[in-house]
Structure 1
Amino acid sequence: MRWLLCMAGLGWALCPAGAAPPSPVDEWPLKAAIAYNLLLFTQWPDEDRWPAGAPLVWCVDPGSPWWPALQGLQERPVRHARVAVRAVSRSADTAACQVVQLDAGLRPASRQGAQLLIADGRDATGPWAVRLAVHGDRVVFDIDLTGLRAGGLQISSKALRLAREVRE
């Protein structure tokens, strides 16, 4: 787990100097770990009104390569909330989602409130707020501030500094 945080760029203090990576890590669990860490740096506009332990609903198409990796994040804490990964096959069913994992099969039909739209670099067409991609032997992320603001979301300046690209 420490190496995943190191690779995510969100836990450099945990990385010993000169640490070598273990054997190659599967792309999807690493992307899921980075996406989860970005949730910790994201603020939803109504978050202060969520009851303690409320679900932070992360919707993903069960046919997506993200599905198995995101299942491992079930019940993980995000401040006062807990991640609840939900299988959603139709774009019309994303209204109750705070996070939508975009892929070829799942796109929100229209902006439906405060949603963090996460795309994979392979399928990053249309609106998105965070895009993850493989660049060389690393997983990197980009942030689209317009996409965040459209959902009423804010992201920490710490995450912005670690992004490969920040779009206005």
Structure 2
Amino acid sequence: MSRLRILLTLAWLAWAPCPASAAPPAPVNEWSLKAAIAYNLLLFTQWPDEERWAPGAPLVWCVDPASPWWSALQGLQERPVRQARVAMRALSRPADTAACQVIQLDAGLRQASRQGAQLLIAEGREASAPWAVRLAVQGERVVFDIDLAGLRAGGLQISSKALRLAREVRE
């Protein structure tokens, strides 16, 4: 089993409730599952200047605090991404994205002008460009799409393992 599949399975298990013998299982929180998948995709993404990051350096993930992503992403604070650590940053205006390595695009932050090596993560099919990763719900599954042009525009690379698991890969 590939490392990404193992990580996605573990992420799902971490957020899935333990079944009680008499009670039906509670539904998995959609936003927590999306956050886990987005985090796992960071593990397969390479930033161009990453080798110069100091051990424990923050990997700044910017998100609108009014977004449904905000509370789900808070659980990822300080999680490791190779030698860096995830650092969530509240951001409600696209003009403040210069310090972000990851930008969560949604209703509050619909568009962000890329300022260097930034991974733009969008939500749903209606997400407008530019984006590099787009998460969506298809049936009862959370799926993701990858836009290679969006990755290249930020100087980013993603593992072929992640590309194989994507629902759609755009050139």
TM-score by length of 2: 0.85
- Preserved CA contact (<8 Å) 1:118 1:128: yes
Equivalent residue number for residue 129 of structure 2: 126
**Which residue in the other structure is 1:137 paired with?**
140
**Percent of counterpart pairs with the same letter?**
81
> How many residues end up aligned between the 2 structures?
155
The one-letter amino acid paired with 1:67 is: W
Structure 1 counterpart of 2:77: 74
Tell me the alpha carbon deviations over residues 15-66 of structure 1, each in whole angstroms, 9 at most, x when there is no partner.
8xxxxx7532010000000000000000000000000000000000000000
- Determine whether 1:29 maps to 2:32: yes
Give distance in 2, aligned partners of 1:45 and 1:109.
20
Partners of 1:89 and 1:106 within 8 A in 2? yes
Written as runs of structure 1 = structure 2, the 5 A alignment for 1:1-168 is 10-11=5-6, 23=25, 24-121=27-124, 123-168=126-171
Query: RMSD of the TM alignment (CA)?
Result: 1.8
Whole-angstrom CA distance in 2 between matches of 1:159 and 1:74: 23
Aligned counterparts of 2:8 and 2:109: Cα–Cα separation in 1:
36
TM normalised by structure 1 equals: 0.87
Matching residue of 2:22: none
SS in 1 for 2:100: coil
Per the TM alignment, residue 142 of structure 1 is displaced from its structure 2 partner at its CA by 0.3
**5+ long unaligned stretches in structure 1:** 1-8, 16-20
Shift of 1:14: 6.0
Supply the distance in 2 between the matched residues of 1:109 and 1:30 (Cα, whole angstroms).
24
User: Secondary structure of 2:5's partner?
Assistant: coil
Write the distance in 1 (CA, Å) between the matches of 2:29 and 2:9. 21
Change (3 A) 1:49 1:13: closer
Cα gap change, 1:14/1:106 in structure 2, threshold over 3 Å: closer, same or farther? closer
Say whether the 8 Å CA contact 2:59–2:86 is kept in structure 1. yes
